């Protein structure tokens, strides 16, 4: 019943309650499978928070 979320760093699908860490970035909450992914995200949130080459979900166009 819990929605799965994607760890933006490694791409793994996890449940929010199983996440090792989470982080809010520009109004969005991201969940991470491990502290390592969390730290990688914090180092460069724009790289992970704004995927520009995703083929899914072309809302604008
Ligand atoms: Zn991860």
Number of domains in the chain: 1
Is residue 61 included in any domain, yes or no? no
Is residue 41 included in any domain, yes or no? yes
CA–CA dist 36, 21 (Å, integer): 9
Higher confidence at residue 16 or residue 59? 16
Is residue 17 included in any domain, yes or no? yes
Residue 14 has pLDDT above 90, yes or no: yes
The residue whose two tokens read 């992914």 is 37
Q: How far is the CA of 61 from the centre of ligand 1 (A)?
A: 30
Question: What 3-state class would DSSP assign to 9?
Answer: coil
Is residue 10 included in any domain, yes or no? yes
Q: What is the reported pTM? A: 0.76
Is residue 37 included in any domain, yes or no? yes
Q: How far is the CA of 56 from the centre of ligand 1 (A)?
A: 20
48 pLDDT tier (thresholds 50, 70, 90): confident
Q: How far is the CA of 37 from the centre of ligand 1 (A)?
A: 5
Range of the domain at 11: 5-48
pLDDT at 49: 77
For range 3-8, the mean pLDDT? 94
């Amino acid at each position: 019943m819990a929605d799965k979320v994607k760890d933006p760093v490694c791409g793994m699908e996890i449940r929010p309650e199983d996440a090792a860490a989470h982080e809010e970035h520009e109004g969005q909450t991201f969940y991470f499978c491990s502290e390592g992914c969390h730290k990688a995200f914090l180092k460069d949130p724009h790289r992970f928070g704004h995927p520009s080459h995703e083929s899914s979900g072309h809302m604008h166009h």
